[in-house]
């Protein structure tokens, strides 16, 4: 007798659009569960992440009712996890335990049973996790066979579960089969049946075929709904299992644990699934690693070498993307603030604040692979919204009579940031990185107006240049095999930045610079102030940033004074001092701002300027253009109700353009708006000059 273990994980990120969830429910979650219910002998271990489970419960109670009956009959086992699908190893231990227990409590309330196993978000394993899992009252988990191969085991020894421990805390680990992940549901059922029939001859240890992967493969991934449901793949699959029930027994993960002994002990390395190792590497290394893996597949003995190849680890995303690192460390700051409050006032009710924090720990916005993740502004927006709301709910960082100034190394780069808080604003400056503003929070709407993303090179960009559009052929394909393009001409947007985008970053330009060159990052900066290190001095409620450097071929000093005004405004006043005579030429001092509103470049978001922008240039945040003699500019989000107003002390020339990235998603290559770049240029007529900005953020009436 052999065993078939079928484990499915359904997840949608916090902040995803209702329409996306509705489509996923219609195309996958509901028809999958109904199809399974027609085959009561087929067992399933099922995990729904907390955000998705709550959404389904509110919008489709029929799903919960059917699932409850299937759990009651023993057909379905419910698997636990972190409630909002965090990568457990990168959030504080207290938060890990709380999230896991929240989910166990929820499922016990709904189904009358506490989970025994845990779904590990993105299968990100680190050796310290057994202590967390056991402390949370769970006993097993499922990862990929890839994890086991990296510890030195062979795939033919992975027909069951192993035990591992941390500090004596034992958990049981199942290896999900890579072969099954690529067969189900992407290949004909006959090929899957042939594979299963050959299992006993292949396996040296154990007697189980173990599948564990995303439920979205069954209807949400491109081309799969037609293949899985309309063309009958799923019913054929279940019928095949029924047909082979005499020798292939369908069981849940817990049932298998109760029937079979472990195959041995193992200590897994820090890793995730195979593709994650590729995605987390820097762009050039990612490309080379992918090519190397493909080369190994072509060699007769390539698998012998390939099993010892491993890419990066999940935490690499914090080094690869400074925006992800900042967001993560910002989350840790809120977690520390709430922990401090709970110690200082143990009777204080922080449940709502902690729930906002846990929502902000949802993993999707912190990384990028084939899925949009970090590249999707609405997911990043939701992270910041939940972090700000957590602070508001707890009163953490709230200022009654501001401003309040904190100095700390927020982003763990060994350099201190300066945080200025008022009743309505949170301003996060980084003296080490050009003295720039990297987070601008507007508390009343819980929005970070600096939630931008730079144009980073990706290891897969070469596919866009060499392959173009691909098509689905022969039934369906895995996401990892698809190359499609959502619009023509995307290669012209493959422009790359050299640093993270921020505001109040300083440039010295000559007459050869142009909007086109600045957009393409092909201009020549005649100073060393952009991204240079500024010295920071706090004088009462004022932050003074200064740097001695060089520009236009002479010594220069630049100082900028930041001061909050009231609850919703702040000023940045510049003073430039040249230490010698200016060389001949046409020069300007440019101050760069990068801003984004919650509704991005949609129809609700627009510019208003003084003097007004020409109609032919367009006034949406996705428009580009040059405007001379500008005295003020406002960015409006009429749907959310936010207005960011920028007033200048003297007229300037404005260059503006939208920042678009090119990334890969389930549907193929796509262009995504990541914010608007504004460069205010002041002519340099003499060595010494001054310029000033007043920024006011407020609410406006929504239509």
Tell me the percentage of the chain whose pLDDT exceeds 90. Answer: 88
Q: How much is the pLDDT for 691?
A: 97
Helix (H) or strand (E) holding 607: strand 605-610
pLDDT of 616 > 70? The answer is no
Please give the average per-residue pLDDT across 104-125, as a whole number: 98
**Which candidate, 549, 548, 559, 555, places its Cα nearest to that of 582?**
555
| DSSP annotation of 79 | -
The two tokens of residue 698 are 């407020």
pLDDT of 479 > 70? The answer is no
pLDDT of 469 > 50? The answer is no
Please give the average per-residue pLDDT across 422-437, as a whole number: 97
**Which candidate, 392, 363, 372, 365, places its Cα nearest to that of 451?**
365
At 142-185, the pLDDT tens digits run: 999 999 999 999 999 999 999 999 999 999 999 999 999 999 99
Please give the average per-residue pLDDT across 122-135, as a whole number: 98
Q: Are 78 and 107 in contact (CB under 8 A)?
A: yes
Burial class (CB in 10 A: 0-12, 13-18, 19+), 307: middle
Q: How much is the pLDDT for 473?
A: 35
At 516-532, the pLDDT tens digits run: 999 999 999 999 999 99
Q: How much is the pLDDT for 478?
A: 46
3-state secondary structure of 619: coil
Residue at token pair 């007769």:
300
At 273-293, the pLDDT tens digits run: 989 999 999 999 999 999 999
Sequence-separated (6 or more) residues with CB below 8 Å from residue 61: none
Q: How much is the pLDDT for 200?
A: 87
Q: How far is CA 367 from CA 128, 313, 315, 501, 516, in A?
A: 21, 11, 9, 18, 30
Per-residue confidence at 475, pLDDT binned at 50, 70, 90? very low
Please give the average per-residue pLDDT across 84-104, as a whole number: 98
Q: Sign (positive/negative) of CA torsion 35, 40, 45, 50?
A: positive
**Rounded Cα gap, residues 698 and 443, in angstroms:** 10
Per-residue confidence at 398, pLDDT binned at 50, 70, 90? low
**Which candidate, 504, 496, 503, 336, places its Cα nearest to that of 412?**
336
Q: How much is the pLDDT for 303?
A: 86
Q: How much is the pLDDT for 382?
A: 98
**Rounded Cα gap, residues 131 and 508, in angstroms:** 54
**Rounded Cα gap, residues 698 and 442, in angstroms:** 8
**Rounded Cα gap, residues 120 and 48, in angstroms:** 12
Q: How much is the pLDDT for 397?
A: 63
At 651-676, the pLDDT tens digits run: 999 999 999 999 988 778 999 999 99
Q: How much is the pLDDT for 400?
A: 65
At 208-254, the pLDDT tens digits run: 999 999 999 999 998 999 999 999 999 999 999 999 999 999 999 99
Per-residue confidence at 544, pLDDT binned at 50, 70, 90? very high
| DSSP annotation of 545 | E
At 29-55, the pLDDT tens digits run: 999 999 999 999 999 999 999 999 999
The two tokens of residue 180 are 């099954």
Burial class (CB in 10 A: 0-12, 13-18, 19+), 285: middle
Alpha helices in 300-347 (DSSP H): 302-306, 316-320, 322-344
Go through the chain and tell me how many residues it has: 703
Q: How much is the pLDDT for 395?
A: 86
Q: How much is the pLDDT for 675?
A: 98
> CA angle, corner 521, sides to 517 and 523, nearest 5?
50
Weakest mean pLDDT among 456-470, 518-532, 628-642: 456-470
Q: How much is the pLDDT for 253?
A: 98
Per-residue confidence at 471, pLDDT binned at 50, 70, 90? very low
Three-state SS sequence of 391-449? HHHHCCCCCCCCCEEEEECCCCCCCCEEEEECCCEEEEEECCCCCEEEEEEEHHHCEEC
Helix then strand then coil, % of the chain, to nearest 5: 35, 30, 35
Three-state SS sequence of 456-473? CCCCCHHHHHHCCCCCCC
3-state secondary structure of 487: coil
Q: Are 3 and 248 in contact (CB under 8 A)?
A: yes
Q: How much is the pLDDT for 483?
A: 61
| DSSP annotation of 486 | S
Weakest mean pLDDT among 392-396, 420-424, 429-433, 566-570: 392-396
pLDDT of 472 > 50? The answer is no
Per-residue confidence at 476, pLDDT binned at 50, 70, 90? very low
Q: How much is the pLDDT for 439?
A: 98
**Rounded Cα gap, residues 610 and 655, in angstroms:** 14
Pairing of strands 2-10, 44-48: parallel
Weakest mean pLDDT among 64-68, 309-313, 611-615: 611-615
**Rounded Cα gap, residues 127 and 661, in angstroms:** 35
The two tokens of residue 685 are 């007529």
Please give the average per-residue pLDDT across 406-416, as a whole number: 97
**Which candidate, 1, 83, 72, 19, places its Cα nearest to that of 49?**
83
Would you call the peptide bond into 403 cis, given omega within 30 degrees of 0 as the criterion?
yes
**Rounded Cα gap, residues 408 and 429, in angstroms:** 11
At 585-602, the pLDDT tens digits run: 999 999 999 999 999 999
Per-residue confidence at 550, pLDDT binned at 50, 70, 90? very high
Alpha helices in 177-273 (DSSP H): 178-183, 189-197, 199-202, 224-225, 233-243, 253-259
Q: How much is the pLDDT for 370?
A: 82
Q: Sign (positive/negative) of CA torsion 621, 624, 625, 629?
A: positive
Q: How much is the pLDDT for 615?
A: 73
Q: How much is the pLDDT for 592?
A: 98
3-state secondary structure of 4: strand
Q: How much is the pLDDT for 467?
A: 57
pLDDT, mean over the chain: 94
Please give the average per-residue pLDDT across 601-607, as a whole number: 95
**Rounded Cα gap, residues 527 and 590, in angstroms:** 11
**Rounded Cα gap, residues 593 and 267, in angstroms:** 49
Q: Are 666 and 547 in contact (CB under 8 A)?
A: no
Q: List residues with catalytic annotation.
A: 122, 214
Q: How much is the pLDDT for 371?
A: 77
């Amino acid at each position: 007798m052999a065993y078939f273990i079928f484990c499915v994980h359904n997840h949608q990120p916090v902040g995803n659009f209702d329409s996306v969830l509705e489509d996923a429910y219609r195309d996958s979650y509901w028809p999958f569960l109904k199809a399974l219910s027609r085959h009561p002998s087929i067992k399933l271990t099922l995990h729904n992440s907390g955000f998705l489970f709550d959404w389904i419960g509110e919008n489709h109670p029929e799903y919960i009712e059917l699932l409850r009956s299937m759990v009651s009959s023993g057909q379905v086992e419910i698997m636990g996890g972190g409630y909002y699908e965090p990568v457990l190893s990168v959030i504080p231990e207290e938060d890990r335990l709380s999230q896991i227990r929240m989910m166990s409590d929820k499922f016990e309330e709904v189904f009358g049973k506490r989970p025994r196993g845990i779904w590990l978000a993105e299968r990100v394993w680190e050796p310290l996790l057994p202590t967390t899992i056991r402390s949370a009252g769970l006993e097993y988990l499922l990862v990929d066979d890839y994890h086991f191969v990296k510890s030195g085991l062979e795939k033919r020894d992975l027909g069951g579960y192993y035990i591992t421990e941390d500090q004596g805390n034992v958990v049981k680990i199942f290896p999900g089969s890579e072969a099954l992940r690529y067969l189900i549901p992407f290949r004909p059922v006959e090929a899957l049946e042939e594979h299963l029939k050959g299992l006993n001859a292949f396996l040296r240890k154990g007697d189980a075929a173990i599948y564990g992967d995303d439920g979205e493969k069954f209807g949400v991934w491109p081309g799969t709904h037609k293949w899985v449901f309309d063309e009958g793949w799923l019913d054929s699959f279940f019928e095949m299992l029924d047909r082979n029930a005499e020798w292939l027994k369908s069981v849940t993960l817990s049932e298998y644990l109760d029937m079979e002994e472990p195959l041995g002990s193992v200590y897994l390395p820090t890793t995730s699934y195979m593709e994650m190792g590729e995605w987390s590497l820097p762009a050039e290394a990612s490309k080379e690693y992918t090519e190397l893996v493909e080369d190994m597949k072509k060699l007769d003995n390539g698998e012998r070498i390939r099993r010892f190849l491993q890419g990066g680890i999940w935490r690499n995303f914090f080094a690869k993307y400074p925006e992800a690192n900042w967001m993560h460390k910002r989350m840790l700051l809120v977690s520390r603030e709430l922990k401090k409050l709970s110690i200082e006032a143990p009777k204080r009710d922080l449940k709502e604040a902690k729930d906002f924090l846990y929502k902000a720990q949802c993993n999707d916005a912190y990384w990028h692979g084939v899925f949009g993740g970090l590249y999707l502004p609405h997911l990043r927006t939701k992270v910041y919204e939940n972090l700000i709301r957590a602070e508001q709910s707890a009163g953490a960082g709230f200022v009654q009579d501001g401003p309040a100034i904190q100095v700390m190394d927020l982003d763990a780069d060994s350099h201190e940031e300066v945080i200025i808080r008022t009743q309505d604003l949170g301003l996060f400056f980084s003296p080490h990185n050009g003295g720039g503003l990297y987070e601008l929070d507007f508390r009343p709407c819980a929005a970070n107006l600096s939630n931008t993303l730079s144009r980073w090179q990706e290891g897969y960009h070469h596919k866009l240049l060499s392959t173009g559009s691909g098509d689905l052929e022969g039934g369906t394909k895995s996401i990892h095999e698809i190359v499609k393009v959502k619009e023509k001409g995307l290669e012209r947007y493959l422009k790359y930045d050299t640093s993270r985008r921020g505001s109040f970053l300083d440039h010295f330009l000559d007459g050869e610079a142009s909007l086109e060159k600045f957009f393409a990052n092909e201009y020549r900066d005649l100073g060393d102030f952009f991204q240079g290190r500024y010295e920071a001095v706090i004088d009462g409620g004022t932050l003074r940033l200064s740097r001695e450097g060089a520009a236009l071929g002479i010594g220069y000093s630049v100082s900028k004074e930041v001061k909050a005004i009231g609850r919703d405004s702040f000023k940045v006043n510049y003073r430039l001092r040249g230490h010698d005579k200016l060389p001949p030429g046409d020069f300007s001092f440019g101050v760069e701002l990068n801003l984004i509103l919650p509704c991005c470049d949609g129809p609700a978001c627009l510019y208003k300027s003084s003097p007004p922008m020409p109609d032919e240039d367009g006034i949406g945040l996705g428009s580009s253009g040059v405007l001379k003699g500008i005295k003020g500019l406002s960015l409006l989000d009429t749907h959310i109700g936010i207005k960011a107003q920028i007033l200048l002390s003297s007229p300037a020339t404005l260059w503006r353009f939208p920042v678009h990235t090119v990334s890969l998603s389930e549907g193929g290559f796509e262009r995504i708006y990541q914010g608007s770049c504004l460069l205010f240029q002041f002519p340099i007529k003499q060595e010494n000059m001054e310029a000033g900005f007043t920024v006011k953020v407020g609410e406006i009436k929504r239509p």
